[in-house]
Structure 1
Amino acid sequence: MKTKVYPRFSDKQTVYLNAVVKDPQIEVGDYTIYNDFVSDPLLFEKNNVLYHYPIHSERLIIGKFCSIACGAKFLFNCANHTLKSLSTYTFPLFYEEWGLDKTNVSWAWDNKGDIIIGNDVWIGYGAVIMAGVHIGDGAIIAACAVVTKDVPPYTIVGGIPAKEIRKRFDADVIERLLMLKWWEWPVSKIKKNIPYIINGKLNDLIMEHDR
């Protein structure tokens, strides 16, 4: 895990996220960055991970080399008023007022599970990721999108609710990128191959992988 907070010496708006988060229920891979030009990015847990209460032990898992833009939000299960009740009012949450058993507080909302973000994912400005959503490696979430369903690898989604706009690459390229998993390579190997990565030279990258 990285301990360096700021990737750039003069930039206090961008942080390596796993050097910032403290909650053990939030896991972030190396080199994933968060940028915030409105608030202090060091307050990511408070400002961006919402309704994340201990009662569920739910997790936010974010992979390596992700880019998370200002204002992106991760909205957890306690924001979901249950649809199993005849009322959306959260009676179990106010157990003292209504003389209810306090062990049934979680009946007030539906539990959709963890939020899991893959590697090399770009989450745009103001996007909202809802509880239970899994986002695949290499996906892109457009600005202000509200993601309510899983997003396949290397897929661009946008809108409210977010829908597929297009794939980033054809199926063969996606398959090979998922096989390569370059983000799991040693740092020295990644550095050596950055020119191939940023210039889209997949065949050269595959040759390096096979060496």
Structure 2
Amino acid sequence: MKQHLFNHWSEIKYLKDIVTNPLIEVGEYSYYSGYYGDQNFEDGCVRYLWGDIQSRELFNPIEQYGWQLDKLIIGNYVCIASGVVILMGGNHNHHSEWVTVYPFVEQLEQSYEPKGDTVIKSDAWIGMNAIIMPGVTIGEGAIVAAGSVVSKDVPPYTIVGGNPPKEIKKRFTDSEINMLMEMRWFDWDRKIIERAVPLLSSSSIEKLFDFYNSEVK
């Protein structure tokens, strides 16, 4: 009988506790809620990224080929739902401008092209079964709706959905977003955040800004 990675849909795993891949950088309190997908984060949610234990045992493209490999960079307090797929740079050897897209072994060293780091910034929420394409940056506080296929950058505090994703709405006004980007609450000391939880769990950005000015700035 298969051993499930998660015991219940309410269970989360903090990325800091489970990530071993040196090409994945994760912030504090970011988590993966993977019950329904029942996939390992490093080799299920994240795909085609060299650096997990198994791939390190098989080959080393940095030493063997001199490749500059893309990284996955995740900020603080990021929420990643079950079934999310983050496509990375391990298979960028297919060239649409060549006669064939087939990656012949003899051409692997020359054919690799990095796509750039994939960045999920702090306080973003990636909905169930969303797909994040290589080299994308998802801004602070952004929400990616379930089932979306994200192939372009997502601005901060913006909700997007669909394939290709379209902007559904900004979460707040421009002035409120400017305040949030100045405060960057997710970078505060944890003890200060705990004091601010009632404000963070409300819609009053101005009151949070007052707290920031008096207690943080």
TM normalised by structure 1 equals 0.84
1:14 aligns with 2:26: no
2:65: which partner in 1?
none
1:60 aligns with 2:57: no
CA RMSD of aligned residues (A): 2.0
Hey, what's the Cα distance between the residues in 2 that align with 1:85 and 1:77? 19
- CA distance 1:113–1:173, shift in 2 (3 Å): same
Question: Are the equivalent residues in 1 in contact too, given 2:69–2:89 (CA < 8 A)?
Answer: no
Counterpart AA for 2:86: F
2:89: which partner in 1?
77
Displacement of 1:51 in angstroms is: 0.9
Higher mean C-alpha displacement, 11-20 vs 138-147: 11-20
What secondary structure sits across from 2:206 in the alignment? helix
What secondary structure sits across from 1:24 in the alignment? coil
Q: Which runs of 4+ in 1 moved over 4 A?
A: none
Counterpart AA for 1:18: K
Question: Are the equivalent residues in 2 in contact too, given 1:72–1:123 (CA < 8 A)?
Answer: yes
Displacement of 1:40 in angstroms is: 4.5
- CA distance 1:141–1:12, shift in 2 (3 Å): closer
Q: Determine which of 102, 106, 109 is the counterpart of 1:103.
A: 109
2:183: which partner in 1?
180
1:88: which partner in 2?
101
- CA distance 1:57–1:177, shift in 2 (3 Å): same
1:46 aligns with 2:52: no
Hey, what's the Cα distance between the residues in 1 that align with 2:169 and 2:121? 18
Question: For this pair of structures, how many residues does the alignment match?
Answer: 192
Measured against aligned partners, the alpha-carbon deviations of 1:108-140 in whole angstroms (never above 9, x if no partner) come to: x54211100100000000111111101110000
Hey, what's the Cα distance between the residues in 1 that align with 2:70 and 2:87? 11
Unaligned runs of 5+ in 1: 1-9
1:209: which partner in 2?
212
Hey, what's the Cα distance between the residues in 2 that align with 1:52 and 1:68? 18
Q: Determine which of 186, 193, 197 is the counterpart of 1:194.
A: 197
Hey, what's the Cα distance between the residues in 2 that align with 1:117 and 1:147? 12
1:32: which partner in 2?
30
TM normalised by structure 2 equals 0.82
What secondary structure sits across from 1:196 in the alignment? helix
